[in-house]
Amino acid sequence: MRLDGKVALVTGAAMGIGAGIAERFSEAGAAVAVFDINAQGACQKAESLCRSGRAIAIPGDVAHEADVRNAVARTVEELGSLDVLINNAGIAPPVSVLELTPAEWDRQLAVNAKGAFLFSKYAIPYLRRRGGAIVNISSTHAFTSYEGYAAYDASKAALLGLTRTLAVEHGRDGIRVNAICPGYVRTPMTDEWLASTPDPMQALQKVLALHPLGRMGTPHDVAEAALFLASDAAAFITGTFLVVDGGLTVAGH
């Protein structure tokens, strides 16, 4: 699975799953645009990728249309084209429905769902020129729910609906659109959640016990799935989703 000569734009790529995808795509031969609201983190990630390939950093907010337009335009201008879009940026602050404010709801839906819509809207005119791929990073939260994650669950389910519609609308343009649904992945966000629990080690052991494979996922696990869906190896796959969760959901969690 190679991406030689291709250009990928990855949102939320300064750390966690997005960083893992950016790194793996660079290893596979792609030039990578690293987009993140964390400008310093985006620059640091792009600099590290430039040691072995081409990469640029683009700071911005996925929920701001002007930032999205700028990111797509800069990617094409500075890297020469756009072949793969990875809609990965997301936030997941746990808040119960009764405590969730309309502003908090709007922000989660804006980052997790609207951002993917905006990036797809502005990327598709370029993707159709060479036959491209969009991979939306959803979550097992799209079809399993936990207390405190109403907005997050709704936004990740919305991504699956967006994925299906984009696949139908743009299949004849040669654009494939798929989603990945990760479960627990060891990222800074996960570590922050574990640290907030009364007994982080006990919480970690409980999480590990939920997985038939006996471990949490890594950004590399999700990156390998994204590389497959973005590559020619998945040339006849569109409009579907790939669960990457170590068996979490089939075990009933």
Options 122, 126, 149, 152, the catalytic residue = 152
pTM: 0.96
DSSP labels, 158-177: HHHHHHHHHHHHHGGGT-EE
Task: Report the mean per-residue pLDDT for the chain.
Answer: 96
pLDDT band at 248; cut points 50, 70, 90? very high
Closest CA to 137 of 194, 174, 97, 185: 185
The fraction of the chain above a pLDDT of 70, given in percent, is 100
The reported pLDDT for the residue numbered 189 is: 86
* 167 token code pair: 């696949």
More confident residue, 193 or 159: 159
pLDDT at 146 over 90: no
pLDDT band at 1; cut points 50, 70, 90? confident
Alpha-carbon span 240 to 7, nearest angstrom: 23
The fraction of the chain above a pLDDT of 90, given in percent, is 93
The reported pLDDT for the residue numbered 74 is: 98
249 Cβ neighbours under 8 A, 6+ residues apart: 140, 143, 144, 183, 243
Q: For residue range 107-122, what is the model confidence (pLDDT) as tens digits?
A: 999 999 999 999 999 9
Average pLDDT estimate for 23-39? 98
The reported pLDDT for the residue numbered 178 is: 98
pLDDT at 222 over 90: yes
Average pLDDT estimate for 51-68? 96
The reported pLDDT for the residue numbered 52 is: 81
Beta pairing partners, 7: 31
pLDDT at 25 over 80: yes
pLDDT band at 40; cut points 50, 70, 90? very high
Q: What is the CA radius of gyration of the chain?
A: 17
Average pLDDT estimate for 75-79? 98
pLDDT band at 220; cut points 50, 70, 90? very high
Alpha-carbon span 163 to 238, nearest angstrom: 9
Closest CA to 5 of 94, 110, 84: 84
The reported pLDDT for the residue numbered 173 is: 97
Average pLDDT estimate for 196-216? 94
pLDDT at 253 over 80: no
Query: The tokens 């579907």 sit on which residue?
Result: 240
Can 184 be counted among the known catalytic residues?
A: no
All structural domains of the chain, each given as residue ranges with its CATH number in brackets, are 7-182+217-244 (3.40.50.720)
Q: Is 55 left (phi over 0), alpha (psi -120 to 50) or beta?
A: beta
Alpha-carbon span 197 to 104, nearest angstrom: 22
Beta pairing partners, 11: 35
